[in-house]
Chains A and B, each alone.
Chain A
Amino acid sequence: MRSLPLFSSCLAALSGFACAELNLSQPLLSRQVLPSTFTPPRVFKNVNLVRNTNLDKAYPRETINVIIENIDSKSQSEYYLPFETSLLSRVGGLEVKDKKDADKGAFKVEVVGLDAQSSTEFYLIHLPTPLAPKQQQTLSISYSVLSALAPVPAKIAQSEKQYIQYTFSAYTPSAYVTEKQKTKLKFPSSDVPDYTTLPADLNAEKKADPQKQGSTFTYGPYSHVPAGAEQAVSVRYEFTKPLTHATLLERDIEVSHWGGNLATEERYWLTNQGAELKNHFSRVEWQKTQYLNPPSSALKGLNLPLHPGSMDPYFTDDIGNVSTSRFRPGKKENLLELKPRYPVFGGWKYSFRVGWNADLSTYLRKLSTGDTYVLKVPFLEGPRLAEGIQYSKVHLRVILPEGATNVKYSTTVPLVDGKTTVHHTFMDTLGRSALELHAINIMDEFRERDLIVTYDYSWTAGYRKPIVITLGMFAVFAAIWVLGSIDTSIGKSKKA
């Protein structure tokens, strides 16, 4: 929690009377480092655990519903969730709720790192009310794993079906003894040519493992699985859609009080993690198949649903405007249809930027008390694809007008870092306060999450720039006048 006090002290220095306990979202990256010999105290047991793995999208979404029971003699409030070190860095959007009381909001979660030798790391879940001995509680843990799907075979022909493989443990990893558990897998289709079959005697009901039901597979149930037990299984299924992965998204939101404008610019670095082309790209074959529009592992287009009232969109990349885009304003949303310059096949990359303007009044509200403004913008907009998009890194920057102070923010998106910096642009003298927020491993499901920023902005700050520019112009004219009236001739000028 190093950055938070620093951040709040910055705020305190800026505003003078900031309250640190205001609804600041807390960065996830706390990482108290523990020795590698650490094992979580065995104070809980999992009475019943059901894991749902949804493979509909280009990334697996896991939901673990687990009834936990305190088997210790004291009240406990720290529940550990283990992950492999390599996996932990790819887990995104982990949220824990009380299954029975979901409205209460997400529990506080932090990453607990072990030192370099350890192969396991933990998410530490803080229960809001400590669980008394012998008491039970139902947790609903949901998260997604990025870059978890591998195409097998790794190279396919241009219009071939794509199969991808997901490897996981049939026993849900847990730091505690699990009495009963099962895993349900939901596939996008029933075309699942390969999957690991486990011996029936592992199964609690001595049935064939897994159980198949259409496009749903069930591993388990298993009983009395000890802590830390794993059983690797993998499934391979058809998924002829692009595995769109944004290695980086930079998103700038610029607030202009004078212009009444909210300018958004997003810069994407996309890559398709799907199967690479066995041979090279053939334009003939592509042109022949495009009339039928078959499913393809290539990313052909992106649709950005913008808020109604968005205008002046642009779509460019490193070498200029991309002419293959369409903007369809509508009642519910303004759809920006983008087509990359070329179809993005597996292993190919495409980077671009899009931007648009919007009327500020729909996003900004002035509080009746004093000069405080509240800005509510979506944390993530971005393309809407049926198969989803995963973002490794998201850098969001909210550039507030020059002279905005006392900047606070709040969002339900898990962040790793947040700070206020100064951004100089368009004849600024002091520079604008810019709020920089970093998040990792985000999915497009977070599109609906909002970011709320509050800041103070007095009316005098708005007049600083016109005055400075006026004075500057006068200074220039005065300097020219003074220089012009200097006589630079060497001899006496002969005025005839």
Chain B
Amino acid sequence: MAAAESETDKFIKQVSGRNTRGLLRVIILCLIAGAAVASRLFSVIRFESIIHEFDPWFNFRATKYLVQNGFYSFWDWFDDRTWHPLGRVTGGTLYPGLMVTSGAIYHLLRFLTLPVDIRNICVLLAPGFSGLTALATYLLTSEMVTSPSAGLLAAAFMGITPGYISRSVAGSYDNEAIAIFLLVFTFFLWIKAVKNGSMFWGALTALFYGYMVSAWGGYVFITNLLPLHAFVLICMGRYSPRLYVSYTSWYALGTLASMQIPFVGFLPIRSSEHMSALGVFGLLQLVGGVEWIRTQIPSKQFQTLLRALVLFIFVVALGGLVLLTVSGVIAPWTGRFYSLWDTGYAKIHIPIIASVSEHQPTAWPAFFFDLSMMIWLFPAGVYMCFRKLTDEQVFIVIYAVLASYFAGVMVRLMLTLTPIVCVASAMAFSQILDTYLNAKTPKAEPAKENGDSKDAAKVAAAAVLPEGLRSTRQPLIGVYSYASKLTVMGASVVYLLLFVLHCTWVTSNAYSSPSVVLASRLPDGSQHIIDDYREAYYWLRQNTPDNAKIMSWWDYGYQIGGMADRPTLVDNNTWNNTHIATVGKAMSSREEVSYPIMRQHEVDYVLVVFGGLLGYSGDDINKFLWMVRIAEGIWPEEVKERNFFTPRGEYRVDEEATPTMKNSLMYKMSYYNYHSLFPAGQATDRVRNARLPAQGPELSTIEEAFTSENWIIRIYKVKEPDNFGRDHQSATSFDKGHKKKKAPKRKGPRVLRVE
């Protein structure tokens, strides 16, 4: 920070007031960091200090495990409480950076005897790191342009832009919380390394790259962007020893660092995603060698020969790579990777990826929603980079192009686009500000400074125009006039204010809901908390055996593990598609089919989410088609999506629902006993606006164990096998007093007995 400060200070020409400016800059940066943290605290103030959504609950649970059991047992953690009965090698299948970071903070605070709860550390980690991200953005932008204001603007943009806040509000304890800071900071270090050709900065890049690898799967973006930058520079004929030193030190150290993470392991040398880095590394050696030979033998012909040789080797290497991939030595690209190029790929081949809403292609309003005015400043900034096109500005261009594409393909990749948008638009905006604010009204200077051009213009103008034109008489025109300054500045200030307003509004309304807790308003305006999730999870935690297995759709797996502390069948770490399909099949089949599946998996309780009473649309009936689709992928003979639609192609839950739908376990569990809450025949589903059949579904193999206050969570207990060896259907009908269904005996007409 201090070093960077002195570096950037070089740009400030005025020696007088340098210290004052430096101090001012530090204060501004601190305020920006403070604003970045503060704007992420909506959810804590409105609700409470709570972990949000789904994935963060796993990270939180893993962090607690780390803090309680120490680093080594965390590293070797085999979790038998998830993916029952398979289990999960959790220590080897996660990115430990996030947990280790909070664990380190926790132990530091413990060392200072500050009793801060690990939950509060986890909740506030993302806002804290967003403050650091703002600083990193300042550093990165300051490397790009000479204007001192661009960095500050970029930091401010980064601090409050919704595109980044969406993943870093307090409680959003996810890998992205620290990964974006690491991403931006690694890029800053890389630019620094390329500029200086310094091994020190290259090694630092590798260090933070290693940290990034330990924190987020998105590290692949860096792994490909840096080689691409290097490759483009080579192609532009800008090879230099600086590039060689920085790239090789980054690649060698960074790859070693990344291989220390068990989840990554040998991927950097075996998977296709990492091959470009290796290829460019090899290319750099060749180019470096050639350059060296060229200095030895100054022959033009030889040089062209060598260039051909380079090309030849490159082609051979690429061919070898393809060959190795085909033969299976190098892992081919994963499905998630293919879906980056073909947005329809996932929907056809891997429904489980497509079922996640954040993997959908981005809708265009999302760009305006998340980036506001920056979306039109961004191209201007990129254009400005084209004008000069120094090494680091080439980086901006490449980053901008790639990230724009990815952000269009997948909603969640908006996150990687946001930093570059902030940097580029800050460059554009600061250009406006510098032009209009700094331009001193030229009194005597214009004659001196712009003497030649002005004169030339005057001569040219005099040649065409008659004397005495106002514009030629008056030098105080255009940029220099107060009117234009005031207009542009006024407009800029208005834009900035609107930007702040928009960011605050979006943060407060769209991104600050924990989604575990729902809020509604009572008639008197006071806030009413709908806390059904935690009610049911806490019931499970307190009143079921410690190893009762809970079956639910995978969305709720992490939450059940974190809040109810019970083993689950499937969770949000969707590593085993078959297992998920099994659960999907159990949910979408008839009871007679589901019951053996549940018994085989030792399921004790089944949990479903039902929003019909409250009008909560994110419930399981609305997700049901994904369950059907995923199950159909494995058992196309037994589960058919078509059967869940009416002949007219409608997805209905009311009287006209298909028999398959009505007999599916999910339907029965959602609507069991629901009709008795209403007067006869009046039962309505408020999500799907459907009048339900007067006769509710009957359950025989499972029984209702708990339903939360607003019916959002319903928990069913799987019955033990019948004591008499009957099937559950006949046992239930026996209990109800129905006679065993026999072929009805036809009796003759009643005859009056006369004896």
A279-315 at interface with B (beta carbon < 8 Å): 279-284, 287
| B113 surroundings in chain A (CB, below 8 A) | 424-428
Given A341-B534, A341-B539, A351-B542, A281:B707 Cβ within 8 A: yes
| Residues 343-360 of chain A, each 1 if its beta carbon lies under 8 Å from chain B, else 0 | 000011111000000000
Given A281-B705, A281-B706, A319-B537, A287:B677 Cβ within 8 A: yes
Q: Is the CB of B535 within 8 A of A341?
A: yes
Query: How far apart are A191's CB and chain B's nearest CB, in angstroms?
Result: 29
Q: Does A323 contact B (CB under 8 A)?
A: yes
Q: Is the CB of B115 within 8 A of A426?
A: yes
Given A280-B717, A425-B113, A426-B114, A319:B538 Cβ within 8 A: yes
Q: Does A477 contact B (CB under 8 A)?
A: no
Query: How far apart are A220's CB and chain B's nearest CB, in angstroms?
Result: 43
For B, the interface residue count at a CB cutoff of 8 angstroms equals: 33
Q: Is the CB of B538 within 8 A of A284?
A: no
B516-547 at interface with A (beta carbon < 8 Å): 517, 529, 531, 534-535, 537-539, 541-543
Query: How far apart are B669's CB and chain A's nearest CB, in angstroms?
Result: 13
Q: Does A318 contact B (CB under 8 A)?
A: yes
With both beta carbons as reference points, the residue of chain B lying nearest to A270 in the complex is identified as: B542
Q: Is the CB of A280 within 8 A of B705?
A: yes
How many A-B pairs with Cβ below 8 Å?
71
Contact partner, A341, options B49, B538, B676, B707, Cβ 8 Å: B538
**A56-B236 Cα distance, complex, nearest whole Å:** 92
| B542 surroundings in chain A (CB, below 8 A) | 348-351
Q: Is the CB of B541 within 8 A of A282?
A: no
Query: How far apart are B191's CB and chain A's nearest CB, in angstroms?
Result: 20
Q: Does A215 contact B (CB under 8 A)?
A: no
| Residues 358-387 of chain B, each 1 if its beta carbon lies under 8 Å from chain A, else 0 | 000000000000000000000000000000
With both beta carbons as reference points, the residue of chain A lying nearest to B676 in the complex is identified as: A284
Q: Does B48 contact A (CB under 8 A)?
A: yes
Contact partner, A342, options B676, B706, B711, Cβ 8 Å: B706
Q: Is the CB of B563 within 8 A of A319?
A: yes
Q: Is the CB of A323 within 8 A of B538?
A: no
| B704 surroundings in chain A (CB, below 8 A) | 280-282
| B2 surroundings in chain A (CB, below 8 A) | 484
| B703 surroundings in chain A (CB, below 8 A) | 279-280
Given A284-B676, A342-B706, A424-B113, A318:B541 Cβ within 8 A: yes
Determine which residue in A279, A283, A322 has the highest number of CB atoms from chain B within 10 A of its CB, and name it: A283
| B48 surroundings in chain A (CB, below 8 A) | 320-321
B693-734 at interface with A (beta carbon < 8 Å): 703-709, 711, 717
| Residues 319-330 of chain A, each 1 if its beta carbon lies under 8 Å from chain B, else 0 | 111111000000
Q: Is the CB of B115 within 8 A of A349?
A: no
Query: How far apart are A351's CB and chain B's nearest CB, in angstroms?
Result: 7
**A424-B115 Cα distance, complex, nearest whole Å:** 9
Q: Does A317 contact B (CB under 8 A)?
A: yes
Q: Does B50 contact A (CB under 8 A)?
A: yes
Query: How far apart are B548's CB and chain A's nearest CB, in angstroms?
Result: 14
Q: Does B673 contact A (CB under 8 A)?
A: yes
Q: Is the CB of B529 within 8 A of A323?
A: yes
| A287 surroundings in chain B (CB, below 8 A) | 677
Q: Does B112 contact A (CB under 8 A)?
A: yes
With both beta carbons as reference points, the residue of chain B lying nearest to A472 in the complex is identified as: B112
**A426-B113 Cα distance, complex, nearest whole Å:** 5
**A84-B703 Cα distance, complex, nearest whole Å:** 43
With both beta carbons as reference points, the residue of chain A lying nearest to B543 in the complex is identified as: A348
| A342 surroundings in chain B (CB, below 8 A) | 535, 538-539, 706, 708
Contact partner, B534, options A280, A282, A283, A319, Cβ 8 Å: A319
Query: How far apart are B41's CB and chain A's nearest CB, in angstroms?
Result: 16
Q: Is the CB of B50 within 8 A of A284?
A: no
Query: How far apart are A252's CB and chain B's nearest CB, in angstroms?
Result: 12
**A347-B543 Cα distance, complex, nearest whole Å:** 8
Q: Is the CB of A427 within 8 A of B717?
A: no
Q: Is the CB of B538 within 8 A of A317?
A: yes
Q: Is the CB of B676 within 8 A of A320?
A: no
**A350-B534 Cα distance, complex, nearest whole Å:** 13
**A324-B531 Cα distance, complex, nearest whole Å:** 9
Query: How far apart are A25's CB and chain B's nearest CB, in angstroms?
Result: 30
| B707 surroundings in chain A (CB, below 8 A) | 281-284
| Residues 237-279 of chain A, each 1 if its beta carbon lies under 8 Å from chain B, else 0 | 0000000000000000000000000000000000000000001
With both beta carbons as reference points, the residue of chain A lying nearest to B47 in the complex is identified as: A321
Determine which residue in B535, B538, B673 has the highest number of CB atoms from chain A within 10 A of its CB, and name it: B538
With both beta carbons as reference points, the residue of chain B lying nearest to A287 in the complex is identified as: B677
Query: How far apart are B12's CB and chain A's nearest CB, in angstroms?
Result: 16
Given A280-B703, A284-B676, A323:B531 Cβ within 8 A: yes
**A282-B672 Cα distance, complex, nearest whole Å:** 11
| Residues 488-523 of chain B, each 1 if its beta carbon lies under 8 Å from chain A, else 0 | 000000000000000000000000000001000000
**A341-B538 Cα distance, complex, nearest whole Å:** 8
Given A284-B677, A427-B114, A321:B50 Cβ within 8 A: yes
With both beta carbons as reference points, the residue of chain B lying nearest to A350 in the complex is identified as: B542
| B535 surroundings in chain A (CB, below 8 A) | 341-342
With both beta carbons as reference points, the residue of chain A lying nearest to B516 in the complex is identified as: A320
| A317 surroundings in chain B (CB, below 8 A) | 538
Q: Is the CB of B673 within 8 A of A318?
A: no
With both beta carbons as reference points, the residue of chain A lying nearest to B49 in the complex is identified as: A320
Q: Is the CB of A318 within 8 A of B677?
A: no
Q: Is the CB of A283 within 8 A of B543?
A: no
**A463-B738 Cα distance, complex, nearest whole Å:** 81
| A424 surroundings in chain B (CB, below 8 A) | 113
| A428 surroundings in chain B (CB, below 8 A) | 113
| B705 surroundings in chain A (CB, below 8 A) | 280-281
| Residues 479-496 of chain A, each 1 if its beta carbon lies under 8 Å from chain B, else 0 | 000001000000000000
**A157-B203 Cα distance, complex, nearest whole Å:** 70
| B709 surroundings in chain A (CB, below 8 A) | 283
| A284 surroundings in chain B (CB, below 8 A) | 673, 676-677, 707
| A323 surroundings in chain B (CB, below 8 A) | 517, 529, 531
Determine which residue in B48, B50, B542, B673 has the highest number of CB atoms from chain A within 10 A of its CB, and name it: B542
**A339-B397 Cα distance, complex, nearest whole Å:** 58
With both beta carbons as reference points, the residue of chain A lying nearest to B10 in the complex is identified as: A496
| B114 surroundings in chain A (CB, below 8 A) | 426-427
Query: How far apart are A149's CB and chain B's nearest CB, in angstroms?
Result: 21
Q: Is the CB of B677 within 8 A of A280?
A: no
- CB-defined A-B contacts under 8 Å, sample of 6: A281-B705, A319-B538, A321-B50, A341-B535, A347-B543, A426-B114
Chain B interface residues (CB < 8 Å from chain A) = 2, 47-50, 112-115, 517, 529, 531, 534-535, 537-539, 541-543, 563, 673, 676-677, 703-709, 711, 717
Other A-B contacts than A318-B541, A341-B534, 6 sampled, CB-CB below 8 A, are: A280-B704, A282-B704, A282-B707, A319-B541, A342-B538, A342-B539
Shortest beta-carbon contacts, A-B, top 3: A283-B707, A323-B529, A321-B48
Chain A interface residues (CB < 8 Å from chain B) = 279-284, 287, 317-324, 341-342, 347-351, 424-428, 484
